[in-house]
Amino acid sequence: MAKNDRIFRISKRIGRFSLDRRVIVILILAALFVAGRAYVAEHPEDNPAAPLDLNDPKGWATQTKIMSLRDDVPECRAVLERSGVAFTALDPAGEGECARPDRLRLGDYPLTPSRPPMTCPVAVGLELWQRDTLEPLAQEIFGSAIAEVQHLGVYSCRRLYGRGSGAWSEHATGNAIDIAGFRLEDGTSINVLGDWDGEGDKARFLREARDGACDAFATTLSPDYNAAHADHFHLDMDGRWSSVCR
């Protein structure tokens, strides 16, 4: 009798222990769930469902959100508005391979010699590049701000490298921009052709600017890629993120 009583008490204890363990696991999961919800509420950049705001820091969901803008012009324009980026929406233009249903002109980006029409995702890329890379880099290396981002053009109705056949360039739809150099508020002039090589501040600026562009654009090509890019960075928003970053 005494023995049975002891076995009963032991099994009861084991039973209670396994019940306690289940309660503990449930409590831990609940705590993780609550903490996770609180985290994504405070970190929209890590929440794929939160609307993109270019003023938020970059998170692991940012790139996916930018890529989804390619197929959603209204949402892309809403992102610019939400982020306080000035722009003018333009009517569609062109036809065939060079049809440009998505065209806008940025309001006060320091592009020179003009602010050409471009797709909304390219505008988003330029904004991110300026905020996250160009401005902090210019301040860090030269203690000055960006006055000009010098470009060689956006739209060009042509195939890759101007060939007679083969794939069309992202320039054919205004979904790419070529950047030749920069001028800073203090007068410093930095250009890809003349300053890429070497170890100086300008070369460092260009290399880090290129690396930063890889975080803002789907494709980034620099002089490291080939001789055709010796004098400019080619930045575009094709459908494959970081297909090339060189």
Which residues are near Zn ion by CB under 5 A?
Answer: 176, 178, 234
Shortest distance, position 57 Cβ to Zn ion, whole Å: 29
Residue 207: φ, ψ to 5°: -65, -45
- Residue among 188 and 191 whose Cβ is closer to Zn ion: 191
- Residue among 124 and 179 whose Cβ is closer to Zn ion: 179
- Residue among 77 and 109 whose Cβ is closer to Zn ion: 109
Shortest distance, position 171 Cβ to Zn ion, whole Å: 6
Shortest distance, position 215 Cβ to Zn ion, whole Å: 18
Shortest distance, position 174 Cβ to Zn ion, whole Å: 11
Shortest distance, position 154 Cβ to Zn ion, whole Å: 9
Residue 176: φ, ψ to 5°: -155, 155
How many other CB atoms sit within 10 Å of the CB of residue 209?
23
Query: Which residue's Cβ lies closest to Zn ion?
Result: 234
**C-beta separation of 126 from 109 below 8 A:** yes
- Residue among 205 and 233 whose Cβ is closer to Zn ion: 233
**C-beta separation of 103 from 174 below 8 A:** yes
Residue ranges of alpha helices (H) inside 91-229 are 120-129, 135-142, 192-195, 201-216
- Residue among 86 and 167 whose Cβ is closer to Zn ion: 167
Return the residue matching tokens 């222990």: 17
Residue ranges of alpha helices (H) inside 73-218 are 73-82, 120-129, 135-142, 192-195, 201-216
